[in-house]
């Protein structure tokens, strides 16, 4: 029996899913939370709190320790030796800075050192900027003119210079810490860093995640020499090569074999970003399905034919791991903002939140709760309220309505009508929240039986790349929609259209 492992390292934790390729079913799910499992490390939400000037960094060694814990937990329910292929999904844009000899660390004797002890001496930047970082506005402004302006950068790389993207992050580091920059020999994305650990060798970056760097020529799937030159000196030498998402990087690292009981024949497949992985895990890697993922960030994405870029410069085009491209809209204030509203209203859990939502009248007001500075639209933290004033616990409904309307408004450029919406991510399990998305998008909402779409997509990529299994066969059983489809209430359409117009005007 061949089993494959999908590993998703997201903002707040690591999820592992083991899939049996013969029955095409999930046989094990394991999770480690950076805050919950490592309370003494001071990252309650997975990143270092209190960054100044928009800086949001995380500790790459916490990721490494969490990876080990996740693998130990996995071995409590599944024999790791039965896993024949593994692929990684990683939070996009985050980057890890290492010296040129870090591969020697990867080959260290696993019986003598922990994985993080082996990596630590090779880090040239102790912390990793992640997708929530907003400290690079100056770098975006420097990169843009050298490449012919924002729209030229978007047509070359798929996105205008974007503060959370890796290129501007690299530019800031090289500019402010030239000595550490000079010592840096390798820059990895989260997905390629974790894949390197699993394979015990320097892994490539796939064209799906690579597109989130403002460094890749999206049409050709190669590093753009002009973007590299505009970003930082000597950058070409410091980046891994680019690869398609179906490439095998190599067999499992000695580490995985000796410490975690994997088979030496287990194949490690190239990693990808969490959104491209989720596209696969939702069965949406061919054009036609629109996915909304409600996680730490709320995202809307869809596979597209050809490449389309957002004229407003807020949305993105990435590589689709199964070929072609995908569009993506990312809103930074997702689950942490919902959580803040829930706490503010004194609602003890999500059932109480759903009850409060159902007790309020729909489509009367919308409140966009921005706990942190927002990226879509670009706006300082605070609340944007339109429609009738919101009183008391009605805020629960108005806040989710605000989030859904904001995503609807900022995804119009994709011009793919959502015949139906596939909802995923933690909050998607809440029926009251799913109903709001059905009503705002005026489309039936389905959820999949398996909710960890990024880890699932990684496992499916491992099965396709490792065993040549037909994607359609995996999709038929793994991406089956939950029978409970939520239908839109058509009568609410005019009121939501009016609120969307008011929200748009409030942003102008």
Orientation of helix 395-409 relative to helix 350-359, angle to 10°? 90
Range list of H helices, 324-452: 335-344, 350-359, 395-409, 431-441
C-alpha 304 chain-centroid distance: 18
The nearest distance, CB 160 to ligand XUL, in angstroms, is 13
Half-sphere exposure of 326 (CA within 13 A, CB side): 35
The nearest distance, CB 419 to ligand XUL, in angstroms, is 24
Based on the shown chain and the rule CB under 6 A, indicate whether residue 95 belongs to the binding site for ligand XUL: no
The nearest distance, CB 190 to ligand XUL, in angstroms, is 9
Residue whose CB is less far from ligand XUL, 277 or 430:
277
Choose one: 34-42, 86-94, 257-265, 277-285; the region binding ligand XUL (CB under 6 A): 86-94
Q: Which of 30, 45, 89, 91 binds ligand XUL (CB under 6 A)?
A: 91
Judged by DSSP in three states, 233 sits in coil
Residue whose CB is less far from ligand XUL, 5 or 211:
211
Q: Which of 34, 38, 131, 223 binds ligand XUL (CB under 6 A)?
A: 131
The nearest distance, CB 130 to ligand XUL, in angstroms, is 8
Assess contact for 136 and 142: CB atoms under 8 A.
no
Convert 136-197 into a string of H (helix), E (strand) and C (coil). CHHHHHHHHHHCCCHHHHHHHHCCCCCCCCHHHHHHHHHHHCHHHHHHCCEEEEHHHHHHHH
Based on the shown chain and the rule CB under 6 A, indicate whether residue 320 belongs to the binding site for ligand XUL: no
Based on the shown chain and the rule CB under 6 A, indicate whether residue 169 belongs to the binding site for ligand XUL: no
The nearest distance, CB 92 to ligand XUL, in angstroms, is 3
By CB under 6 A, what part of segment 149-168 binds ligand XUL? 164
Based on the shown chain and the rule CB under 6 A, indicate whether residue 401 belongs to the binding site for ligand XUL: no
Binding residues with ligand XUL: total (CB under 6 A): 15
> Closest by alpha carbon to 245, among 427, 93, 457, 30?
457
Choose one: 88-96, 98-106, 172-180, 348-356; the region binding ligand XUL (CB under 6 A): 88-96
The nearest distance, CB 292 to ligand XUL, in angstroms, is 12
Residue whose CB is less far from ligand XUL, 164 or 186:
164
Residue 444 phi, psi (nearest 5): -65, 140
Whole-angstrom distance, CA of residue 401 vs CA of residue 496:
9
Residue whose CB is less far from ligand XUL, 171 or 299:
299
- Can you count the helices (H) and strands (E) in the chain? 20, 25
Residue 377 phi, psi (nearest 5): -80, 170
Residue whose CB is less far from ligand XUL, 211 or 356:
211
Residue 67 phi, psi (nearest 5): -60, -45
The nearest distance, CB 367 to ligand XUL, in angstroms, is 22
Residue whose CB is less far from ligand XUL, 6 or 273:
273
Q: Which of 184, 192, 227, 297 binds ligand XUL (CB under 6 A)?
A: 297
Whole-angstrom distance, CA of residue 293 vs CA of residue 68:
27
Whole-angstrom distance, CA of residue 80 vs CA of residue 84:
9
Based on the shown chain and the rule CB under 6 A, indicate whether residue 136 belongs to the binding site for ligand XUL: no
Whole-angstrom distance, CA of residue 489 vs CA of residue 438:
8
* Contact flags string 246-285 toward ligand XUL, x per CB under 6 A: ---------------------------xxx----------
Contacts with ligand XUL by CB under 6 A lie at 10-11, 91-93, 131, 164, 212, 273-275, 297, 299, 328, 330
């Amino acid at each position: 029996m061949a089993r494959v492992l999908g590993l998703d390292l997201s903002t707040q934790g690591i999820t592992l899913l083991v899939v049996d390729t013969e029955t095409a079913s999930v046989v094990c799910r394991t999770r480690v939370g950076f805050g919950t499992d490592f309370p003494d490390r001071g990252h309650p939400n997975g990143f270092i709190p209190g960054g100044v000037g928009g800086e949001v960094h995380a500790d790459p060694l916490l990721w490494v320790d969490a990876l080990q814990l996740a693998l130990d937990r996995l071995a409590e329910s599944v024999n790791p030796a039965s896993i024949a292929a593994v692929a990684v999904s990683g939070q996009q844009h985050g980057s890890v800075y290492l010296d040129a000899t870090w591969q020697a660390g990867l080959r260290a004797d696993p019986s003598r050192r922990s994985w993080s002890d082996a990596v630590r001496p090779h880090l040239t930047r102790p912390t990793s900027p992640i997708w929530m970082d907003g400290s690079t506005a100056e770098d975006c402004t420097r990169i843009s003119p050298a490449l012919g302006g924002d729209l030229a950068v978007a047509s070359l790389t798929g996105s205008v210079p974007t503060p959370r993207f890796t290129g501007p992050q690299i530019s800031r580091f090289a500019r402010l810490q030239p000595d550490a920059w000079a010592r840096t020999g390798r820059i990895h994305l989260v997905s390629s860093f974790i894949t390197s650990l699993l394979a015990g060798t320097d892994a490539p970056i796939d064209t799906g995640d690579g597109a989130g760097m403002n460094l890749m020529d999206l049409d050709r799937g190669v590093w753009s020499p002009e973007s590299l030159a505009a970003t930082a000196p000597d950058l070409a030498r410091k980046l891994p090569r680019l690869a398609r998402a179906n490439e095998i990087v190599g067999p499992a690292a000695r580490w995985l074999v000796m410490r975690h009981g994997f088979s030496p024949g287990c194949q490690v497949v190239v990693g990808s970003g969490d959104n491209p992985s989720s596209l696969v895990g939702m069965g949406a890697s061919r054009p036609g399905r629109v996915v909304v993922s409600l996680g730490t960030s709320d995202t809307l994405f869809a596979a597209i034919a050809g490449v389309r870029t957002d004229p407003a410069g807020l949305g993105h085009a990435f590589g689709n791991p199964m070929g072609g491209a995908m569009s993506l809209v990312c809103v930074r204030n997702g689950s942490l903002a919902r959580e803040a509203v829930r706490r503010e209203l004194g609602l003890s859990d999500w059932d109480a939140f759903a009850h409060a939502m159902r007790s309020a009248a729909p489509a009367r007001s919308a409140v966009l709760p921005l706990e942190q500075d927002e990226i879509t639209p670009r706006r300082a933290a605070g609340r944007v309220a339109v429609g009738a004033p919101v009183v008391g616990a009605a805020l629960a409904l108005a806040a989710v309505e605000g989030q859904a309307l904001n995503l609807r408004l900022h995804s119009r450029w994709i011009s793919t009508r959502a015949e139906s919406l596939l909802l995923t991510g933690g909050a998607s399990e809440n029926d009251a929240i799913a109903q709001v998305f059905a009503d705002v998008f005026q489309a039936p909402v389905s959820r999949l039986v398996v909710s960890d779409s990024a880890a699932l997509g990684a496992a499916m990529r491992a099965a396709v790349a490792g065993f040549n299994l037909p994607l359609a066969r995996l999709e038929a059983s793994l991406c089956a929609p939950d029978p409970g489809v939520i239908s839109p209430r058509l009568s609410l359409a005019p009121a939501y259209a009016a609120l969307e117009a008011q929200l748009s005007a409030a942003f102008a």
